[in-house]
Amino acid sequence: MEQEIYRHVPYDIEVEQALLGAILVDNSALERVSSVLKSEHFYDPLHQRIYEVMQGQLDRCGMVITPLTLNAAMKADPGLVEVGGHAYLAGLAAAAPAMPNVRDYARILQELAIRRGLIHVGEDIVNAAYEAPHDKSPQTQIEDAEKALYRLSDTARYGEGPLDFAESLRRTLESAERAQARGGRISGVASGFSDLDSLLGGLQPSDLIIVAGRPGMGKTSLATNMAFHAARAYVQDMEAGAEQSRGAPVLLFSLEMAAQQLSARILSEQTEIEMWKIRNGKFAESEWEKFVLTMQELSTLPLYIDDTGGISIAQIAARARRMRREKKIGLVVIDHIQLVAPSRRTENRVQEITEISKGLKVLAKDLDVPVIALSQLSRSVDSRDDKRPVLSDLRESGSIEQDADVVMFVYREEYYLKSREPEPGTPDHGKWLEKMERAHRRAELLVEKHRHGATNKVELFFDDRYTRFSNLANESV
C-alpha cells in the first residue's frame, strides 16, 4: 500500500510579520513595496487583511498607520481580536528589524505566492486530465495549462508603478546613448529591405505591424522574405561574435500554406530555381546539387513554421509564449489575420477580427517582440481607378487600423496592367506597353501609418519567378 506524503505549502509567517512591522514603524515602506506586492501574496489571511487596511489608510489622504489607528480600523475583525488586537499589532512594530530592506521582503513573499500558485495550477492540471470530457482534446488541455501558467507568471511582473519624469528622461537618455553607440545601425529587427529599415528603424519590439493587400500582391512572399532575412541575419551575427544581432529567431504561423510549401518558396528564392521546377522535380544536374547544398546550409536557421489550420488567437498566444521561453524568438509572423479563429464564435465577424487584432497587439507588448500580421483587403479596392490601397480600406476590418503601430500596403501595378491589355496594334496598346515596361518587376510598399515616425512609399524589386522581393537599388529591372 502506497504511503501518502503530506507536504506543507511554501510560506514564511516571520517574513510577513517583519514586513508588516516595518510598515508600522515607517509608513514610507508601504510606498516602496505597494507597486510590487499585493495582499494575496501573503499566506496568512489575517496578514492579507492587515495589508489591505494599511493600503486603504494610506490612500485616505495619507492617514498615519500605527498600531492604534490600525486596531481602530479593524476592531470588528474576529481574526485580529483572536490574536490579541492592539497587542499583536504593537508586537509586530516592536519586533520589526532595524533598517529592513522591505523590497527584499516583498520579493520573498511574492515568490512564495507564485510557488503556491504553481501547486494549485498543477493540481488543476491533474484534475482536468482525470475529468476531461471526451470531446476535449489533450492538445486543448495542454494549451489551457499553458494559459494558466502564463497568467501565473504575470503575477511576477506586477509592475513598478508610475515613473517620475526624471527617471523617464534618464531612460530616454540611455536609449539614445545605445542608439549612438550603434553607429547608425537600426535598433529593431532588420527586415532585409534597407529603405524600409531606414524609415522604421527596423521592426520594433512590441509593435504590431500590419501588411495588407489584395490577393496576388505578394503579401506572403514579402513576410516570408522578412522572416528568412531575420533568421539568417541572426545566425550570421552570432557566428561573427556580434554583441547585438540585426536579426532574431522567428516563429511563423502559416494558416493558408503548408510548411513544406513555404520552405520550397525560400529555397526557390535562395537558389534561383523556379518554383515549377521544384514542384515537378525538373532539375538540371547542376540545379539539383545547388538545391541540396542550399537546403543543408539553411537547415540550421532558427525559423519555426506552425501550419496548424484554424488556430485561435488564444492558441497563437500560448504557442508564441512557449517559443519565446524555449527558443528566444524575436519576431512573430501571422499569415493571415482573416484565417485566425476567434476565442469564441459570434455572428459579427467585425467583432471577431477586432478581438484578434487586439490580441495580437497584447501579444507583441507582452513578449516585447515585433508581430507582423498579414491582412486581406476587400474587392472594393479593385473598383477604383487608382488601386493603391489607403487606410480607409481597413475600416471594415474591425480595429486593425487602430491597434496597429505600423500599417503598410503591398501594391504591384504590373499585376493589374496584365489584365487590361488593349487590342494589339492600337495607340492604347503602345501606351500600355510603356506602362508595363515601367512597372515590370516593381513593387510599392506603402507605409500609411507609423505610430513612431514618418510615413512614405518604399519601392522594391519583385521577381515572380522566385517569389522574391529585394532592394530596388540592388537589381536590374
240 shares its domain with 128: no
Q: Are residues 122 and 42 in the same domain?
A: yes
pLDDT in tens, 420-474: 777 787 877 877 777 777 778 888 899 999 998 888 989 898 888 888 888 887 6
- For the domain that residue 339 is a member of, what is the CATH number? 3.40.50.300
Boundaries of domain holding 192: 170-474
Mean per-residue pLDDT of the chain: 84
- Judge contact between 50 and 118, C-beta under 8 A: no
Residue 170, pLDDT above cutoff 60: yes
* CA separation for the pair 296, 300 (Å, rounded): 8
Mean pLDDT score, 150-171: 68
Peptide bond into 336 cis (omega under 30): yes
Q: How confident is the model at residue 395 (pLDDT cuts 50, 70, 90)?
A: low
**What per-residue confidence (pLDDT) applies to 470?**
86
61/199 same-domain check:
no
Look at residue 1 and tell me whether its pLDDT is greater than 50.
Answer: no
Query: Same domain, yes or no, for 405 and 262?
Result: yes
| Residue 34 or 222, more confident | 222
Are 151 and 264 part of one and the same domain?
Answer: no
Q: What values do phi and psi take at 44, rounded to 5?
A: -70, 125
Mean pLDDT within 404-413: 90
Q: Are residues 372 and 395 in the same domain?
A: yes
Sequence-ordered strand ranges (E) for 179-255: 208-213, 250-254
Q: Sorting pLDDT into bands at 50, 70 and 90, what band is 15?
A: very high
Same domain, 156 and 188: no
Whether the per-residue pLDDT at 156 is higher than 70: the answer is no
Please state the pTM of the whole predicted model: 0.69
Same domain, 196 and 307: yes
For the domain that residue 34 is a member of, what is the CATH number?
1.10.860.10
Please tell me whether residues 135 and 234 are part of one structural domain. no
pLDDT band at 476 (very low <50, low <70, confident <90, very high): low
pLDDT digits (tens, 9 = 90+) for 326-335: 889 999 999 8
**Cα(236)–Cα(245) distance, integer angstroms:** 8
**Which of 128, 161, 194 is where one domain is finished?**
161
Check whether residue 265 and residue 151 sit in a common domain. no
396 pLDDT higher than 70: no
Whether the predicted pLDDT of 3 surpasses 60: no
Residue 355: band (very low, low, confident or very high) from pLDDT cuts 50, 70, 90: confident
Q: Which of 121, 143, 161 is the last residue of a domain?
A: 161
Residue 341 φ then ψ, to 5°: -85, 140
CA distances from 92 to 68, 101, 159 (A): 12, 16, 28
The pLDDT of residue 308: 86
**Structural domains of the chain, count:** 2
Q: Which residue has the higher pLDDT, 304 or 161?
A: 304
Residues 24-59: pLDDT tens digits? Answer: 998 888 888 887 888 999 999 999 999 999 888 766
The pLDDT of 271-285, averaged and rounded, is 82
Q: What pLDDT is attached to residue 477? A: 47
Query: Which of 289-293, 294-298, 428-432 comes out lowest in average pLDDT?
Result: 428-432
Task: Fill in the DSSP letter of residue 387.
Answer: -
What does DSSP assign to residue 342? P
Task: Give the list of residues 6+ apart from residue 295 with CB closer than 8 angstroms, or none.
Answer: 267
- Which of 112, 139, 161 is the last residue before a domain boundary? 161
One domain, residues 153 and 183: no
Flag the least confident range among 65-69, 121-125, 318-322: 318-322
C-alpha cell at 222: 514579402
Task: Give pLDDT, residue 468.
Answer: 85
**Three-state secondary-structure class, residue 438:** helix
Please tell me whether residues 424 and 443 are part of one structural domain. Answer: yes
